Each structure stands twice: as C-alpha cells, then as structure tokens.
Amino acid sequence: MSDNEKFGVDSWTPELLKQRRRRAALMGVALALMVGMFFIVTVVRLSANMAG
Amino acid sequence: MSQSTQETIVDGKEPVSLDTGSATDFIALMKPRVMSLVVFTGLIGLVMAPGTMHPVLVVTAVILIALGAGASGALNMWYDADIDAVMSRTQERPVPSGRVDREAALTFGLWMSGLSVMSMAVLINYLSAALLAFTIFFYAVVYTMFLKRRTAQNIVIGGAAGALPPVIGWAAASNSVSLEPLIFFAIIFIWTPPHFWALALIKNDDYKSANVPMLPVTAGRQATLTQILLYSLGLAVVAMLPYALGFSGVIYALGAGILNIAFVGLAVLLRFASDDNRNRVAGTLFAYSIFYLFFIFVLLLADRLAVS
C-alpha cells in the first residue's frame, strides 16, 4: 500500500514531501558515511596488523 | 491545522502524524551545543592517553562519542517533552514545539544509541563501548527519568554522565582507565553543580512552574548561593590535582590557578550580590563556567604538548 493510499491522496502536501525527501537524502548520506567509516577503519586496522 | 502538526485519520483510528520533522530538527534533538563540549573533552581524553592512535581511529572515536551524546540528548527531549513545554528556555525545542513527533524522537534516540555503542565496540574497543553505553544509560534513565524530577541533587549525581566523555576518550585510545582520566572526570563532576545552579537561579520561575526540584526551588536562593560557593572552592582544589599529582606542569598550574581565582571570585560576588544584581552575576558565572571548563582542558593539553 502506498503512503498516499494509506494516509489519503491529499495528505502529503508538497511541503511535507519536500521535507521527507530531505530527511531521506540526509539519511542516505549518513548511511554512506557510516559505510565509508567502517571501510576505512577496517583498512587502517588491517594495515596496522600487517605492519605489526 | 498548522502544517507542523498535520495529522490524518486512518480508518477511524488514532491520528497519524505525517510531519516527523526536518533534518535540522533532528540535529537540534541531539543538543549540538552540549555535544560540542562533550566532543571537546572526549578528544582531550583521547589525545592525553598514553600510546599512539591512528588519526582515522581518533576521528572515528570522536564521531561515535558525539553520536552517543546526541542519542542521550534525543532521549532526554523525548522523556522531558512535557516539562520542556512549560519552561520558556526549552519550549521551542523540536518535540514540545510540535515539529518532531515524540515517538520519532524516541526512535531516533534509541537507534543512535545502538549505532554509536555497537560501532564503538566493533571499530574501537569494548571498554570504550561499555563506558559510552553506561553514559547514555546514566543520562537518559538515571538522570532524566529518575533524578531530575525527584531530588534537588539531580544535577549533582547526574553530572556523572557529562563527566564521562574524557574517560571514554582515554579508554578508546588506551583500552584502559587510570587515575588521570578519573581526575578529568572529577573536575567536570564538581564543575557541573555551580554551572547548572547559576542557570537555575536565573530560570527559577521556569523550574518552579515545571515542578522540577532544582536547588533554588527546594532550598531557596541563599542556600543555593552558599552551595555554589562551596562547590567552587571544591572545584578549585580538584582542578589543581593534575599538578599536585604530577600529571601536569607549571603551565597548567599557573593557568588553572588564574581560572580558579576568577571562578571563586565570581562565586563570592554572587553570594553577596544584591537582589537587583543577582541574576546578572549568575549569568556571568554561568557563561564563565563554560569558558573555564574549555580552558582547563586546553591547558591540560597545552601543558602535555609543551612537555613532549
């Protein structure tokens, strides 16, 4: 069921949709940064272990 | 109906809020100003700890400490939404103002807590993760849910949560806790009551109307002023411990001595201030206390860098 069907066709105003898109974009960026952080830290730790 | 509280009825059930807040509101939920001091003291703990840590790991640990602090802030705002709505200082926060749904704040806080602690455990070490988890629990549950509305000692005991970040930083870098980070803890712990009681003196009516038993509400202004002075004297002693115990040198001792004299001087001025001047002096002490803590930790770092 789509959000519009769930909440009613007129429920999502353009402003609310814009706000939701911004939140989703920010969450996407945060998740990408998180993945990047895990990757980089793993590389750093592996490098340190190999050097050791 | 305003856009910020837009709701719709689904099959005759409870209204569903469609507006769960903007990204800025969620950042505000994390109390960025409080977070900045937490991050700073945590970073000092990291840098002062023995051994070397890869810069990437330092940045990672600081980010995770910040996320944990933000999670605590969000959980605090979720639970305190009712009293925040009553107090002028807090009624514009995202939850009481209706910009963020209460459940969304809770969900956000819980996710952030889990994410920060788990990541700390996986990426840094278990000790710092355990300390971070304890800090979030202490602030959100022990302080916010139990102490804040029950006892005038709320911020005295609750201050432990705000005092832990340098210990977390130290543990992140060294995977241990020694006397030195515990002294950093003690400095922030003793600093917290005079800092918050100065604010409580100014916002006394707010706390009274929200039924929050801050010391000025329960014991009166004079007793609070005396307590501020006593804690300030205690702080002056504790802040000299890094020098007395040989952790810091003359640079720290001189700087901390000057900062202490000003802190105690302001506390004395406040104790004997006239009714007309009291709030102004309390405001000065509150602002100075932030400056004081920042520079105490800057001095600790500067002294260490000068020696090495």
Query: What is residue B2's predicted lDDT score, i.e. its pLDDT?
Result: 40
Structure tokens belonging to residue B44: 């000092």
- Positive or negative, the Cα torsion across B91, B92, B93, B94? positive
**Which parts of chain A have pLDDT scores under 70?**
1-10, 52
Q: How far is B11 from chain A (nearest CA, A)?
A: 9
Q: What are phi and psi of B6, to 5 degrees?
A: -60, 130
Category of B11 on φ-ψ map: left (φ > 0), alpha (ψ -120 to 50) or beta: left
Up-side HSE of residue B150: CA atoms within 13 Å toward CB?
9
B16 in contact with A, Cβ within 8 Å: yes
- Looking at residue A13, the DSSP 8-state letter turns out to be -
Q: Are B71 and B109 in contact (CB under 8 A)?
A: yes
Amino acid found at A30 = A
Query: What is residue B51's predicted lDDT score, i.e. its pLDDT?
Result: 85
Asked if the Cβ–Cβ distance from B56 to A7 is below 8 Å, we say: no
Alpha helices by DSSP H, listed for A1-52, are 3-7, 14-51
**Over the stretch B21-49, which tens digit does the pLDDT of each residue have?**
778 898 999 999 999 999 999 999 999 99
CB pairs < 8 Å spanning A and B: 47
Q: Is the pTM of this model over 0.90?
A: no
Taking CA atoms, B21 is separated from A3, B5, B32, B75, B97, in Å, by 17, 10, 17, 16, 11
Scan for tokens 């730790």, then name that residue: A45
Which residues are paired to B15 by β-bridges?
B9
Structure tokens belonging to residue A1: 């069921």
Structure tokens belonging to residue B291: 């400056």
Asked if the Cβ–Cβ distance from A41 to B57 is below 8 Å, we say: yes
Query: What is residue B10's predicted lDDT score, i.e. its pLDDT?
Result: 46
User: Best interface-test mutation with B: which of A23, A42, A43 has the largest number of B CBs within 10 A?
Assistant: A23
The rounded distance, in Å, linking the Cα atoms of B170 and B187 is 15
Asked if the Cβ–Cβ distance from B6 to A7 is below 8 Å, we say: no
Q: Among all residues of chain A, which has the CA nearest to that of B23?
A: A23
Amino acid found at B49 = A
Q: Is B7 helix (H, G, I), strand (E, B) or coil?
A: strand
Query: What is residue A8's predicted lDDT score, i.e. its pLDDT?
Result: 53
Q: Which helix (H) or strand (E) holds B17?
A: strand B15-17
10-residue stretch averages of pLDDT, chain B, 308 residues long: 44 53 87 93 95 93 96 97 94 93 94 97 97 98 96 95 97 96 98 97 94 95 97 98 95 97 98 94 97 97 88
The burial of B12, by beta-carbon neighbours within 10 Å (0-12 exposed, 13-18 middle, 19 or more buried), is given as exposed
**Over the stretch B172-204, which tens digit does the pLDDT of each residue have?**
999 999 999 999 999 999 999 999 999 999 999
Query: What is residue B4's predicted lDDT score, i.e. its pLDDT?
Result: 42
The rounded distance, in Å, linking the Cα atoms of B5 and A32 is 31
